[in-house]
Amino acid sequence: MSSASRIWTSIDFDQDGKQSDYMRVPYSSDKSAYGWIPVPMICIRNGNGPTALLTAGNHGDEYEGQIALLNLARQITPEDVRGRIIILPALNYPAVVTGRRVSPLDDGNLNRLFPGEANGGPTAMIAHYVENVLFPLCDIVIDLHSGGKSLDHYPVALARPGLDAAGAAKNRALLEAFGAPYSVVTSGEGGGAGTTLYAAAEQRGIPALTTELGSGGTLSARGLSIAEDGIRRVLKAYGITPKIQAVASPGTRFMRSLSRGGSIYAPKTGLFEPHVECGEPILNGQKAGLLHAFDTPLAEPTSLVFGTDGIVLCRRFPTLTERGDCLFLLMVDED
Ligand code: CA
């Protein structure tokens, strides 16, 4: 499991200054027998101090994080830093260049493949490198996501519940420093469960947060500023960029995601007509929308009803829907 990574880089993580190179992921194909996939990586270091790992493009069709990290990588100078920042704005690069959630090379969903494999497909190799080479260098981890093409997502930061009380407190402190308008503690089940990047960081006791900042494979200006402001606040709060400009957070509201119990899944294939928006408060029994049967024109549409109170965290973005698609997920205030 912990065999050596085949990925290499020209970056020396112990060298001061700003270095830009790639995680060079070996990939032998018809087009390039001895080639490698260039996953962009920037290391900004200045002396001893904590290390932050900042990643985006884990899913290729989620853009606020990718642009936030490109901006920060250009803007932050070694003189700003006390310690080290490692930035990967396009972590699953083959997915990023094709605008897809998963890699076109091996259908790899990077955020479902942790802890990865040294000799797996390119996506599993990337996960393995993050797990075995980058995590041991890191004191905090931020992995920026958005809704992507299939979700309309209310902008939030999220963290796992923690393995124990100390882990929970560390994740909570990181969410507070990031200061998104809403901070969601996930249930630990559902979604990617233990196979995500932030869950893998949790397993190693590294405080980690993720985000969901926008919708539908486009760019939300609000989501972008939540990402940039939040990272600047974190870097300052953890002493990594003590003098950097960071807008004060207006405060964060702690929430809990409901996972399966607070979700509506499509009971059949059809055309989804939502009746509520992201961020909207919901009461148990409220109508969520309709599912129209395009193959049975005179059939009454199926009525979708919420089974619990909450606030809409995300909803399905495309109208065309198949049985099993997640149509809504709710969050609630922490007790
Ligand atoms: Ca994602």
- Looking at residue 78, which CATH number applies to its domain? 3.40.630.10
Helices and strands in the chain, H and E counts: 6, 18
- Name the residue range of residue 222's domain: 17-256
Instruction: State the Cα–Cα distance between residues 124 and 110, nearest whole angstrom.
Output: 7
Residues 143 and 43 in one domain: yes
Instruction: Report pLDDT digits (tens) over 12-36.
Output: 999 999 999 999 999 999 999 999 9
β pairing state of 253-257 and 182-185:
parallel
Tell me, what's the pLDDT at 190?
60
The answer to whether residues 273 and 219 belong to one domain is no
Residue 215 resides in a domain? yes
Judge whether 7 lies within some domain. Answer: no
- In this predicted structure, what is the pLDDT of residue 194? 84
Spacing, Cα 69 to ligand 1 middle (Å): 16
Q: How far, in Å, is the centroid of ligand 1 from the Cα of 211?
A: 8
Question: How many structural domains comprise the chain?
Answer: 2
* Same domain (yes/no): 312, 227: no
Q: Do 40 and 97 fall into the same domain? A: yes
Along the chain (335 residues), what's the average pLDDT of each consecutive run of 10 residues?
A: 88 98 97 97 98 98 98 98 98 98 97 97 98 98 97 96 95 98 84 86 96 94 98 98 94 93 95 97 98 95 98 97 97 92
Q: Are residues 208 and 313 in the same domain?
A: no
One-letter identity of residue 133: V
Which tokens hold the place of 190? 């559902």
Measured from the Cβ of residue 97, the count of other Cβ atoms closer than 10 Å reads: 15
Distance 35 CA to ligand 1 centre (A): 28
Distance of CA 61 from the midpoint of ligand 1 (Å): 8
Give the distance (Å) from ligand 1 centre to CA of residue 253. 22
Residue 4 lies in a domain: no
The H-or-E segment that residue 20 falls in is: strand 17-26
pLDDT of the residue at 193? 73
* pTM given for the model: 0.96
Helix (H, G, I), strand (E, B) or coil at 67: helix
200 and 292 assigned to the same domain: no
Same domain, 252 and 169: yes
Q: How close is the Cα of 208 to the center of ligand 1, in Å?
A: 15
Helix axis angle for 165-178 and 221-237, nearest 10°, is 120
Q: Ligand 1 center to residue 59 CA distance, Å? A: 5
